Amino acid sequence: MPPIVLRPGASPSSSTTAAASCPSGAATHGLALMLDTKRKQVLVWDPVTFDQHLLALPPLPQFVAKDSLTNGAVLRPAGVVHFQVVLVLEGNDEELRTGVLACIYSSETGVWGNLMSTPLPSTSCLSCMPALLVGDSFYWTLIGKFAGILEFDLERQSLAVIQVPVDMPEHASEFTVMRAEGGGLGFLFVSEGDLTAQLWKWKKECDGVASWELARTVELDKLLSLNSEVVRDCMIIVGFAECNNVVFLWTLLGVFMVEIESLQFKKLPQAHNMCCKPFESVYAAGI
Confidence at residue 8, expressed as pLDDT on a 0 to 100 scale: 32
CA distance 186 to 176: 9
Confidence at residue 169, expressed as pLDDT on a 0 to 100 scale: 58
Q: Three-class SS of residue 220?
A: helix
Q: Output phi, psi for 231, to 5 deg.
A: -100, -5
- Report the chain (287 residues): mean pLDDT per 10 consecutive residues: 33 33 49 80 85 87 63 85 89 64 92 88 80 92 84 92 74 76 88 82 82 90 76 75 82 84 85 60 49
- Regarding pTM above 0.85, the answer is no
- Residues paired with residue 118 on neighbouring β-strands, in sequence order: 100
Confidence at residue 231, expressed as pLDDT on a 0 to 100 scale: 66
CA distance 246 to 249: 10
- Residues paired with residue 93 on neighbouring β-strands, in sequence order: 97
Q: Output phi, psi for 200, to 5 deg.
A: -105, 150
Confidence at residue 167, expressed as pLDDT on a 0 to 100 scale: 61
248, 237 contact by CB (below 8 A): yes
CA distance 36 to 19: 20
Task: List strand residue ranges (DSSP E) for 82-209, in order.
Answer: 84-93, 97-106, 111-112, 116-119, 124-126, 132-134, 137-144, 148-153, 158-163, 172-179, 185-191, 196-204
